[in-house]
Structure 1
Amino acid sequence: MSMKGWLARVAAGTAMALTALQAVAYTQTSNGWNMPTGVTEIAHEVHKLHMWVFGVVTIIGILVFGVMIYSIIQHRRSKHPKPADFHESIKVEIAWTIIPFLILVGLAIPAAGTLIKMEDTRNSEMTVKVTGYQWKWQYEYVGEGVSFFSTLSQESNVARQTGSGVDVTKVPNYLVDVDNPLVLPVGKKIRFLITANDVIHAWWVPEFAVKKDAIPGYINEVWTRIEQPGVYRGVCAELCGRDHGFMPIVVRAVPEAEFKAFLDGKKGGKTEVAAAAPGTASDAAPAAAPAPAATEVANAGAKPAAAPAAAKELGQDELMAKGEKVYAANCSACHQASGAGLPPNFPSLHGSKIANGPAEAHIEQILKGKNLMPPFPQLSDEDIAAVATYERQSWGNKGSVVQPSQVAALRK
């Protein structure tokens, strides 16, 4: 690798790390740079433990450095040219063994109690399944028949694109805002089932003192009981890929009546804006905007419901223009804006068999995914038709045009 290429990679990695740190810093709103007090019983206990340990280590630090500084000053060579010649002291040996042991036991007992309480998900009043994707979250209200995706907000996604020209300081909650927040009731014990669809993620909301790894093929459990209504923000706390810094978490805690109204609205077939997964900051063209709105998924545990098919056929130019935006927001992270891919995991789309083959197979792969490619059933029929057409008509490909009605037929 050339020096120029190496420096470019280092710069890109540094920029990603700084962006993620900035997003984390924006979530710490209650106590500045200290651990937040939180809005749950566990968060309060964790904060008390944190302050207790902080106090203990501060006292230890003062004592240790005090003795060191005193010894350096009072026993310097100019004052005591002949050093002391004593050796072992049984009393000192016993003291500096027993005292640290007692300190550790004193810290471990309350910490163990809190850890046990964190893992006790018994008697939960509701369950929410959280699934991590590259790079978005899916929330499913278990037993309620309601599920939806939550992705980076459109404003933040536009602003973060290379060459966007947007002043990010003017974007509200830059990089820590989403299109569809997770809505939860206050005062209820809520169990989270946390997993992932592709790679390891981590669901972290500091104000709840909840942080659990989301691991493919494995379900972690954790719980919370929110005490105060409000909006609470978090981030993915596991390096999950190039857009790791662009999958924030937003939880809106509301009174019970408002939460029931929210669920009723979802069950009644109402839809909300659900932008597709964000594209990359480095590869996307400056003009690339996030995907248009996608339809909410409203059937937990089953295949997501189909978005209504378009009332009319769309022209090729319209499909290509729309498809370019959907591709930039959803596909360019892995297949690159140029369509060159990242072999061997993400093949090039230039001359691709799937892009030049039957349209049905292309649509099925977008809906169901394949290997490391996640499924995209949350996209509307129009979005899938547009991005399929764009892939089939770009980079020298000669595939057919795809219409929304073809996508709708394959969802059934």
Structure 2
Amino acid sequence: MIKQRKLILGSTCLTLVPQLAFARNPFEFQTPVTPIARETLYVHDLFLTIIAVLFSVGFGFLLFSVIRYRASRGHRPALFSAPRTPLQWALSALPILTLVVIDYIVMGIPAYHAVLTLANTREDAALVVKVTGSQWRWRYDYPDQGISFISNLSTSQEQRDSGAPTDPNYLLEVDKPLVLPVGKKVRVLLTSTDVIHAWWIPSFGIKQDAVPGFLRETWVKIDRPGIYRGQCAELCGVGHGFMPIVVEAKAQPDFDKWLADAQTAAAQAAAVTTLSKPELLKRGQQDYATYCALCHQPTGLGMPGAIPPIAGGKPFTAPPAMTDLLVQRGFYNAGKIVVGPVARHIDIVLKGIPGTPMPAFGTQLGDADIAALVTYERNSFGNQTGDVVQPSAVKAARAK
């Protein structure tokens, strides 16, 4: 099998010189680092080689016929419309038989093997990671290790508004990458909280949809340490271009150390029960910029007719179907968004508002982050309620 692959790759390199190096330009594959990606590249190169050979042979016969049997040399076209002699029948059947062999044997067997390999997600899996897509970020859970975190685009709003790339990985950097061990099979479970997203990392050879209400799965086994980047590959809304994927592959000792540090940090975060108002406002400002500003805008003014403003006393006009939902929650009065009860504010952030663009953050954010968000929104953008919401209040709301 290895000799066969070397032969295929060698013939491809002779027919298509740019395939000598991967990812030197946008028209080539990224360097494969998983068995699935290598299998995909092998099938691709095999297919490309077959196409090149068939094209060369077919075009060669055509060119020879045009030159050798041209009318200027006295040749006249044949008058038969169907094969008559055994040779003519053989020449007619040969292309059909060749394509059958290519489709079902040369291409079919490797493709069938690749599909079976991709479908085998559970055998020898050393780690399980759950990936949840949301508008517009990724959540990563290690269920057996008790670790969960959100991965957000780290490019600031100011950089995005300027439209000027700041580095080669512009719009492909995140605050918290997914960390995986090298040389271990990782089973990846995918779902979504709102619309269809797609988890795509080219160097892994993986592009799997994350569908609301369904749990889909795939797997990866990374060959070497490094940082690998991808993106959401399913058009999922206005923030679709701001859902990068970054995976940091670590050697096993480094991964074990990261895992222990992450578990310690999670335990410390869970132990936090009381924060001061300045701490809540600072944390809430950061969380608002990360999770809310894309819709409600950095100024808190929202989007007329679609996204209500957070800013106090600002008018908001929208279809009755949306304003009625806000009225039911005590957040709409005389054409303006008003600061309603704290309990309902927490409930909206936790559960979202079905039928509107407001998502549920209860599965995305911890108690401290939601408490900080609510405190910040009730004391910023012209809202001066003085309310301070503690994580314990959010925890009690979850319990209900």
Q: Same fold (TM over 0.5)?
A: yes
Does residue 403 of structure 1 match 2:387?
yes
Does residue 243 of structure 1 match 2:239?
yes
What's the counterpart of residue 374 of structure 1? 359
Alignment of 1:221-300 (within 5 A): 221-269=217-265
Q: Closer, same or farther in 2 for the Cα pair 1:81/1:130, shift >3 Å?
A: same
What's the counterpart of residue 220 of structure 1? 216
Which one of the candidate residues 197, 205, 209 is aligned to 2:201?
Answer: 205
Which one of the candidate residues 162, 183, 193 is aligned to 2:179?
Answer: 183
CA contact (8 A) 1:310 1:381 kept: no
CA contact (8 A) 1:183 1:254 kept: yes
Alignment of 1:287-366 (within 5 A): 305=270, 309-312=274-277, 327-329=292-294, 331-332=296-297, 337-341=302-306, 347=322, 353-354=330-331, 355-356=337-338, 357-366=340-349
Match for 2:234: what amino acid?
E
Does residue 383 of structure 1 match 2:373?
yes
Partners of 1:221 and 1:319 lie apart in 2 by 34
CA contact (8 A) 1:313 1:404 kept: no
Q: Closer, same or farther in 2 for the Cα pair 1:269/1:147, shift >3 Å?
A: same
Partners of 1:345 and 1:206 lie apart in 2 by 44
My pick for the range that moved more, 43-52 or 173-182, is: 43-52
Larger radius of gyration: 2
Q: Closer, same or farther in 2 for the Cα pair 1:389/1:266, shift >3 Å?
A: same
Q: Closer, same or farther in 2 for the Cα pair 1:42/1:112, shift >3 Å?
A: same
Secondary structure, aligned partner of 2:234: coil
Q: Closer, same or farther in 2 for the Cα pair 1:315/1:208, shift >3 Å?
A: closer
CA contact (8 A) 2:284 2:374 kept: no
Match for 2:129: what amino acid?
V
Which one of the candidate residues 41, 45, 49 is aligned to 2:39?
Answer: 45
Percent identity over the alignment? 34
Computed over aligned residues only, the root mean square deviation of the Cα atoms, in angstroms, reads: 3.7
Secondary structure, aligned partner of 1:154: coil
State the shift of 1:244 in Å: 1.1
> 1:271-291, CA deviations, whole angstroms, 9 ceiling, x for partnerless residues?
9xxxxxxxxxxxxxxxxxxxx
User: For structure 2, which runs of at least 5 residues remain unmatched after alignment?
Assistant: 1-21, 84-88, 308-317, 332-336
Which one of the candidate residues 42, 50, 56 is aligned to 1:56?
Answer: 50
Partners of 1:267 and 1:167 lie apart in 2 by 38
CA contact (8 A) 1:319 1:389 kept: no
What's the counterpart of residue 334 of structure 2? none
My pick for the range that moved more, 111-120 or 365-374, is: 365-374
Which one of the candidate residues 187, 193, 209 is aligned to 2:189?
Answer: 193
Partners of 2:324 and 2:167 lie apart in 1 by 34
> 1:219-266, CA deviations, whole angstroms, 9 ceiling, x for partnerless residues?
111111111011011111111112211101000011112212212112
State the shift of 1:312 in Å: 2.8
Match for 2:188: what amino acid?
F
Partners of 1:230 and 1:323 lie apart in 2 by 31
Partners of 2:288 and 2:294 lie apart in 1 by 10
Match for 2:294: what amino acid?
A
What's the counterpart of residue 147 of structure 2? 146
Partners of 1:362 and 1:130 lie apart in 2 by 28
Q: Closer, same or farther in 2 for the Cα pair 1:325/1:91, shift >3 Å?
A: closer
What's the counterpart of residue 114 of structure 1? 114
My pick for the range that moved more, 70-79 or 89-98, is: 70-79
State the shift of 1:320 in Å: 9.3
State the shift of 1:59 in Å: 1.1
Partners of 1:197 and 1:146 lie apart in 2 by 19
CA contact (8 A) 2:280 2:372 kept: no
Which one of the candidate residues 150, 164, 168 is aligned to 1:167?
Answer: 164
What's the counterpart of residue 28 of structure 2? 34
User: For structure 1, which runs of at least 5 residues remain unmatched after alignment?
Assistant: 1-27, 272-295, 299-304, 394-399
State the shift of 1:384 in Å: 3.1
Match for 1:103: what amino acid?
I
State the shift of 1:103 in Å: 0.8
CA contact (8 A) 2:275 2:390 kept: no
Secondary structure, aligned partner of 2:107: helix
TM-score using structure 1 length: 0.72
Partners of 2:118 and 2:280 lie apart in 1 by 55
- Name the count of aligned residue pairs: 342
State the shift of 1:139 in Å: 0.2
Partners of 1:109 and 1:256 lie apart in 2 by 34
> 1:286-314, CA deviations, whole angstroms, 9 ceiling, x for partnerless residues?
xxxxxxxxxx9x7xxxxxx5976531369
Q: Closer, same or farther in 2 for the Cα pair 1:216/1:83, shift >3 Å?
A: same
Q: Closer, same or farther in 2 for the Cα pair 1:96/1:315, shift >3 Å?
A: closer
State the shift of 1:391 in Å: 7.5
